[in-house]
């Protein structure tokens, strides 16, 4: 078994960086792990216009530690009232994607889309301009069981969306079910999916092991073991349409350990090590590089990174608590031992 793994420098195709003191706290972790990241626009207020995205990008760059090489790839939050012209302006400004949150589906999604018909003209413009559509694929219908919301979203909305805009690149984000993985595998070259480390490593039992564990609570929620296995199979399949997206979503620990706890797992600190653990567990470490470093860039039509990241088989313990502005942040699996450690990141000559 190899004890060292060197891969091309990876990217994170779904990341929450927040803003202000929280941004300053988590950004160094992501910049150490990844060369680029698709930055989610669910701030308060949401990032709905090109100017807001460019100002947010500037705040991210200003918060980078000296010497870090990290490129934030910006996204716009799609609302019922996004003007179609915003898609051309987005493309011209280098904004790569728009994010569809069904209204009320997750953290800071109140301004999301209430009916897909209302955004048809925007999606047509996105298709024309080559702006990628990122989808939080869960229905919000309270009649639908929380564990079924992804599968029902695919049936009720995604199949039709895919058919209406065949040229639109769609990423079904943080896929959590066998239905999601199967759908994407069969949906053709313009449909892809990101997979989080936590959905590859854990099933829903993790939420309740030894008591209710809020740090394992995220949306979409962890599913049954059969789904986890299907996700691992998709991630390690070698298919270019499955790639890494941490969905690292930091919340102050007091807001997660709460009567109405926030959804989101913090993995920005140790994402690559968590993915290595999942791929190693499947005996597929040789597939990690494609998943982490090539497939996403290829799907987005962006160049692959020049640098490298080196992981070593070396046990280390995930810290239990990290500073988070005035608050505290608890990383997923804090206090647990991981088998792989990121020991070096070489940023390459072209960055």
Q: C-alpha distances in angstroms, 127 versus 3, 118, 165, 233? A: 44, 16, 7, 30
Taking the complex as a whole, the smallest distance from the CB of residue 219 to Zn ion amounts, in Å, to 8
As a whole number of angstroms, the distance between CA 126 and CA 113 comes to 16
Residues 255 to 284: which contact Zn ion by CB under 5 A? Answer: none
Residue 127 neighbours by CB distance under 10 Å: 19
Q: Rule CB under 6 A: is residue 219 a binding residue for ligand NCD?
A: yes
Do residues 57 and 38 make contact, with C-beta atoms less than 8 angstroms apart? no
Q: Rule CB under 6 A: is residue 234 a binding residue for ligand NCD?
A: no
Interface stretch with Zn ion, choices 50-58, 184-192, 201-209, 240-248 (CB under 5 A): 240-248
- Segment holding 313, helix H or strand E: strand 308-317
Q: Rule CB under 6 A: is residue 106 a binding residue for ligand NCD?
A: yes
As a whole number of angstroms, the distance between CA 220 and CA 59 comes to 28
As a whole number of angstroms, the distance between CA 96 and CA 133 comes to 9
Interface pick for ligand NCD out of 16, 149, 162, 330 (rule CB under 6 A):
16
264 binding partner (options ligand NCD, Zn ion, none; Cβ < 5 to 8 Å by kind): ligand NCD
Q: Rule CB under 6 A: is residue 140 a binding residue for ligand NCD?
A: no
Taking the complex as a whole, the smallest distance from the CB of residue 15 to ligand NCD amounts, in Å, to 10
| Torsion, Cα of 144, 148, 150, 151 (10° steps) | -110
Taking the complex as a whole, the smallest distance from the CB of residue 107 to ligand NCD amounts, in Å, to 3
Q: 248-287 mask for ligand NCD (x: CB under 6 A)?
A: -x-------------xx-----------------------
150 binding partner (options ligand NCD, Zn ion, none; Cβ < 5 to 8 Å by kind): none
Q: C-alpha distances in angstroms, 104 versus 44, 111, 138, 248, 347? A: 14, 8, 10, 19, 39
Interface stretch with Zn ion, choices 70-78, 200-208, 220-228, 247-255 (CB under 5 A): 247-255
Taking the complex as a whole, the smallest distance from the CB of residue 221 to ligand NCD amounts, in Å, to 8
With CB under 6 A as the rule, give the number of residues binding ligand NCD: 12
Please list the residues that pair with 243 across neighbouring strands: 194
Q: Rule CB under 6 A: is residue 169 a binding residue for ligand NCD?
A: no
Q: Could you tell me whether strands 337-346 and 308-317 are parallel, antiparallel, or unpaired per DSSP bridges?
A: antiparallel
Q: Rule CB under 5 A: is residue 150 a binding residue for Zn ion?
A: no
Site residues (vs Zn ion, CB under 5 A): 247
């Amino acid at each position: 078994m190899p004890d060292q793994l060197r891969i091309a420098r990876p990217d994170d195709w779904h990341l929450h960086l927040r803003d202000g003191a929280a941004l300053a706290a988590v950004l160094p972790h992501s910049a150490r792990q990844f060369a680029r990241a698709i930055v989610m626009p669910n701030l308060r207020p949401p990032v709905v216009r090109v100017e807001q995205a460019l100002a947010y990008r500037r705040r991210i760059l200003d918060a980078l530690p000296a010497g870090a090489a990290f490129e934030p790839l910006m996204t716009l939050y799609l609302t019922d009232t996004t003007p179609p012209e915003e898609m051309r302006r987005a493309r011209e400004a280098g904004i790569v994607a728009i994010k569809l949150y069904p209204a009320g589906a997750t953290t800071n999604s109140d301004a999301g889309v209430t009916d897909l018909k209302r955004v048809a003209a925007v999606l047509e413009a996105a298709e024309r301009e080559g702006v990628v559509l990122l989808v939080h694929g869960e229905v919000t219908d309270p009649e639908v069981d929380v564990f079924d919301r992804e599968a029902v979203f695919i049936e009720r909305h995604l199949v039709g969306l895919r058919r209406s805009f065949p040229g639109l690149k769609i990423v079904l984000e943080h896929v959590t079910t066998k239905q999601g993985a199967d759908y994407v595998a069969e949906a053709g070259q313009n449909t892809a999916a990101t997979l989080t480390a936590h959905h590859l490593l854990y099933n829903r039992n993790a939420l309740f092991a030894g008591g209710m564990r809020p740090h394992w609570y995220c949306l979409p929620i962890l599913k049954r073991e059969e789904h986890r296995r299907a996700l691992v199979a998709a991630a390690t399949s070698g298919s270019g349409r499955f790639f890494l997206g941490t969905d690292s979503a930091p919340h102050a620990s007091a807001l997660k350990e709460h009567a109405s706890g926030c959804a989101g797992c913090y993995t920005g600190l140790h994402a690559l090590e968590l993915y290595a653990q999942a791929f190693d567990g499947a005996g597929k470490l040789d597939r990690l590089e494609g998943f982490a470093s090539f497939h996403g860039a290829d799907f987005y039509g962006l160049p692959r990174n020049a640098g490298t990241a080196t992981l070593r088989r070396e046990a280390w313990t995930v810290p239990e608590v990290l500073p988070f502005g005035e608050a505290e942040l608890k990383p997923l699996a804090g206090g647990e031992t991981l088998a792989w450690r990121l020991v070096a990141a070489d940023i390459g000559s072209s960055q």
